[in-house]
Amino acid sequence: MSDHLKKNTGFKKWWTMLRPHTLTASFVPVTLGTAIALPIGRVHLPLFLAMLIASMFIQIATNLFNEYFDFKRGLDSHESVGIGGSIVRDGFKPKTILHLAYAFCFVSALIGIYICIASNWWIAVIGTICMLTGYFYSAGPYPIAYTPFGELASGLFMGVFIILISFFIQTNTITVDSILISVPIGLLVGGINMANNIRDLDRDREKGRLTLPILIGRKKAISLLAGLFIISYLWIIGLMLLQVESVWTLVVFASLPKAYKATKLFRGKTKSIQLMPAMKATAQMQTAFGFLLSLGIVLDHFI
């Protein structure tokens, strides 16, 4: 049996259920949003930590909702490949997964109250929208995951919005520069979603989904993913040339080998199990890009 299909036991099955590999999609935007607040004023560490934990909990809840509703709709089986499948492969009760998802949302909302008290109550509105997007990504009569808009939703709400909220709670403002800096991370968070949909293309088509890769085809989807990588790097060059950011941000190019590797691993393969390394490389590329961009901004501030 492949390592991807083995049943997890003990602590590992609980850890796998949380899909820890996906959490950088929330960790990176919070870190970047806080980093770009540095030139404006002092960073409030408790707010940063609160935003980080709340965002990660929303991400976990979204993963668990996806786990539950994929199971209810018959998408997951014992042969499913990926980081999901805790219900069919690891023996979790469906209601356990659903109740845990609601619990993570509840705790995130409590943390959100603290963030609002310390910053602005408008955050409650945006935070609620992000949370509902996480729920309706998999739930409801017309789940976002079943449409070609999954990449757009994830990139916007788990990328751009999280960066801007993290920036706003530190500075009490939104600037044009903060919006511009959030764009490449939004593209790459959407890219993680696209990589997942490319991997699951055949299975999703069989189950009636109409994701973007299904709509445009596998080859064009891989080319589009590569295009998102290219645009992200060119965007940073543009920000430097326009003097929005300094030359320090070019440190993001250290992540370029990961982008090349991810694109190469997708080409010529169609089976889900063959595409797992490509999926992993895409997530690693987004993580490296985001942290390096944050590092460049921090270095520019202190040097």
Q: What CA–CA distances, in Å, run from 24 to 20, 204, 282, 287, 301?
A: 8, 25, 11, 6, 24
Which pLDDT value is given to residue 40? 87
Which pLDDT value is given to residue 82? 47
Annotate 83-115 with DSSP letters as a single string. Answer: S--HHHHH---HHHHHHHHHHHHHHHHHHHHHH
Q: Sorting pLDDT into bands at 50, 70 and 90, what band is 7? A: low
CA-wise closest residue to 201 among 216, 186, 189, 223:
216
* pLDDT per residue as tens digits for the range 52-66: 999 999 999 998 998
Query: What are the CB-based long-range contacts (under 8 Å, 24+) for 169-175?
Result: 169/44, 169/47, 169/51, 169/115, 169/118, 169/119, 169/120, 169/123, 170/33, 170/34, 170/37, 170/40, 170/41, 170/43, 170/44, 170/47, 170/48, 171/37, 171/40, 171/41, 172/119, 172/120, 173/40
DSSP state of 203: H
Cα–Cα distance between 89 and 8 in angstroms, integer?
A: 8
User: Average of pLDDT values for 145-166?
Assistant: 94
Which bin fits 7, alpha (ψ -120 to 50), beta or left (φ > 0)?
beta
C-alpha torsion angle, residues 63, 206, 186, 35 (rounded to 10): 30
* pLDDT per residue as tens digits for the range 223-253: 999 999 999 999 999 999 999 999 999 999 9
Q: Note the pTM of the prediction, 2 decimals.
A: 0.90
Share of the chain above pLDDT 70, in %: 92
User: Average of pLDDT values for 150-158?
Assistant: 93
254 pLDDT higher than 50 = yes
79 pLDDT higher than 60 = no
Residue 47 contacts residue 168 (beta carbons within 8 Å): no
Q: What structural domains does the chain harbor?
A: 10-302 (1.10.600)
User: Average of pLDDT values for 178-197?
Assistant: 94
User: Average of pLDDT values for 246-266?
Assistant: 94
80 pLDDT higher than 70 = no
More confident: 18 or 114: 114
Residue 192 contacts residue 286 (beta carbons within 8 Å): yes
- Alpha helices (runs of H) in 137-271, residue ranges in sequence order: 150-155, 161-171, 176-199, 201-206, 212-216, 218-241, 256-266
Q: Report the mean per-residue pLDDT for the chain.
A: 88
Here the tokens at position 192 are: 């993680």
Give the Cα-Cα-Cα angle 125, 127, 129 (nearest 5 degrees). Answer: 70
Q: Sorting pLDDT into bands at 50, 70 and 90, what band is 1? A: very low
Which pLDDT value is given to residue 18? 74
Cα–Cα distance between 247 and 249 in angstroms, integer?
A: 5
